[in-house]
Amino acid sequence: GYYAVELVNDSLYDWNVKLLKVDEDSALHNDLQILKEKEGTDFILLNFSFKDNFPFDPPFVRVVSPVLSGGYVLGGGAICMELLTKQGWSSAYSIESVIMQISATLVKGKARVQFGANKNQYSLTRAQQSYKSLVQIHEKNG
């Protein structure tokens, strides 16, 4: 499979999604192979948090690990994608299609694993702050 889902503390509102495969021709794919040799993990761990009004609002999605550069990943691990905003979201989207879009966006944005990066730089709070400021910029400037 391309991904695996685990509930965090059995909560339907909080999912960890392991992105197991990205485009094999991408630099990110090669980086994940190196990561496997170095650290024993070869996946990108995403966290999806859902509000009560899902599917009418998008989930909040962030990268948990590894630390990435590029690929539309913001400070704290937030992901910059229109489909994850209220304006770009549709309640018709399936979570599977969202995961595939994220995978494609990471590759398209030339995401790379930041080997040796401080793993503490990604947190829910920091990701939410980055996301909020991004949304404000988009609402002002379109």
19 Cβ contact partners less than 8 Å away, ≥ 6 residues apart: 2, 3, 43, 44, 45, 46, 99, 102, 103, 106
pLDDT at 142: 64
Return d(Cα 114, Cα 142) in angstroms, integer.
31
Structural domains of the chain sorted by starting position, each given as residue range(s) with its CATH number in brackets: 3-141 (3.10.110.10)
- 95 catalytically annotated: no
For residue 107, what pLDDT band results from cuts at 50, 70 and 90? very high
Examine the pLDDT at 140 and tell me if it is beyond 70: yes
Q: Which of 5, 27, 80, 124 is catalytic?
A: 80
